[in-house]
Amino acid sequence: YEVTQPPSVSVSPGQTARIPCSGDKLGDKFACWYQQKPGQSPVLVIYQDTRRPSGIPERFSGSNSGNTATLTISGTQALDEADYYCQTWDNNIGVFGGGTKLTVL
Amino acid sequence: QVQLQESGPGLVKPSQTLSLSCNVSGGSISSVNYHWTWIRQHPGKGLEWIGNIYYSGTTYYNPSLKSRLTISLDTSKNQFSLKLTSVTAADTAVYFCARGDLGMVPGPFDYWGQGTLVTVSS
pLDDT tens for chain B, 122 residues: list them.
999 999 999 999 999 999 999 999 999 999 999 999 999 999 999 999 999 999 999 999 999 999 999 999 999 999 999 999 999 999 999 999 999 998 887 889 999 999 999 999 99
- Chain B positions in Cβ-Cβ contact with residue A48 (cut-off 8 Å): 104-105, 108
pLDDT for residue A102: 98
CA distance A25 to A67: 5
Say what the pLDDT of residue A25 is: 97
What would the pLDDT profile of A11-63 be if each residue is shown by its tens digit?
999 999 999 999 999 999 999 999 999 999 999 999 999 999 999 999 999 99
Q: Do B107 and A48 touch (CB under 8 A)?
A: no
Measured between alpha carbons, how far is A20 from A97 in angstroms, rounded to an integer?
Answer: 10
B46–A87: do the CB atoms touch at under 8 Å?
no
